[in-house]
Amino acid sequence: MLRSRTVPRRGWNLEFVMWVFTRVSGAAMLILGALGMIGALIMGARTQMDLATLMRWTFFPNPNHVVNSNIPDINLGWVSLYWRILQTLIVFFGVSHGFNGLRVVMDDYIHHDAVRKVLRVVILVLWIAVMAVALYIIITS
Amino acid sequence: MGTLFITVREALRYKGREGQWLWALHRISGLGILFYLIIHVYDMSLAYFNVPVHEEMIALFKTPLFSVLELALAALLIFHAVNGVRVAILDLRPEMWANQQKVTRISLIVTAILAAPTIVIMIIYTLNANFGPVASAVGR
C-alpha cells in the first residue's frame, strides 16, 4: 500500500511551478493586503470606516459584498479601477493558493493512483467554479 | 480509513517537535481557511442568485457558535500567514535550519502578538452587536 511514486524529471515540472506559485501568491496576498489597507486609509477610511469594516474591505474591497458594514458613500471613490484590480488579484491568488494546497495535502494521503487522478479533476473543477463565481460578482458589481 | 488511522498515529508518535507541530498546524489551518473560503464564496454568491437562502445563512453565521469559529478563523489565518513567511524564508536559507527551534518560536510569538489584539477587538465587536449596553463597559 505504501509504495514510492516515480518522481518527474528535474526542472520546470508541475510540482516545482506550484512550489514557486505558492510562495509568490503568499507574498502577493500579504502585499495586496497592505496595499488595500494603505489605499483605504489614504482615501479617508480613518474617518469613514470602523476597524472591522476596514479589515473586511482590505480582504475583498467590494461595496456590494461587505454586508453589515458601514461602507461609505460609493460616490466618494470607493468603486474604482484600483479596487477592482485589487479584488481580482486577491481572489485569484487566494483561491489558487488554497486549492493548490488542497491538492498537495490530497497527494500526500491518497495512495491509489486512479483515485488521486479523479480527486485532482474534482479539485480542478471546484477551483474553476469558485473562481468563476467570485469573478462574476466582481464584474457585475 | 486505515491510512487515516496510520497517518494520525504515526504523526503523534514521530518526535519531530516544534517543526513537525507547526507543519501539522500549517496544514490544518490552510485546510480550515480553504473550507471557510468555499462556504463564504457559496454564501455570498447566493446574495445574487438566491436572496432568501443567503439571508438565512447570514443569520446562521451570527449565532454564538459561528462567532467562536470566526475567532478561530482569524487566529488560524494570522498563523498561516506568519508561518508561511517562515517556511518560505527557511526554504531559501538552509543555514537557518540549525536554529529551527528558535525560528519556530519566533513564528509563534509573532502570531500571538498579531492575533491577541485581533481576537480581543473581535470579541468586543461581537459583545457589542449581541448585548450592546453590557459590553459598553468593556470598550468603545
pLDDT per position as a tens digit, A6-29? 777 788 888 899 999 999 999 999
**pLDDT band for position B18 (50/70/90)?**
confident
Output the pLDDT for position B77.
Answer: 95
pLDDT per position as a tens digit, A31-60? 999 999 898 888 877 777 778 788 888 888
Distance from CA of B136 to the nearest CA of A (A): 16
* Residue A11 near residue A36, CB atoms below 8 Å: no
Output the pLDDT for position A69.
Answer: 62
**pLDDT band for position B1 (50/70/90)?**
low
Report the topology of domain A14-140: 3 helical TM bundles of succinate and fumarate reductases (1.20.1300)
Rounded mean pLDDT, B33-62: 88
Return the DSSP state at B94.
G
**pLDDT band for position A110 (50/70/90)?**
confident
Output the pLDDT for position B99.
Answer: 87
Mean pLDDT of chain B: 86
Q: Provide the whole-model pTM.
A: 0.87
Interchain contact, B85 vs A30, CB within 8 Å: yes
Interchain contact, A95 vs B37, CB within 8 Å: yes
User: Which residue of A1, A21, A23 to mutate against B (max B Cβ within 10 Å)?
Assistant: A23
Rounded mean pLDDT, B96-124: 91
Output the pLDDT for position B35.
Answer: 94
Sole residue written with cell 485589487: A86
* Residue A104 near residue A95, CB atoms below 8 Å: no
Is CATH 3.10.20.600 the right assignment for the domain spanning B2-137? no
Output the pLDDT for position B140.
Answer: 44
Distance CA B26, CA B54 (A): 31
Domain chopping of chain A, boundaries: 14-140
Distance CA B46, CA B60 (A): 14
Domain chopping of chain B, boundaries: 2-137
Distance from CA of A133 to the nearest CA of B (A): 7
* Residue B22 near residue B107, CB atoms below 8 Å: yes
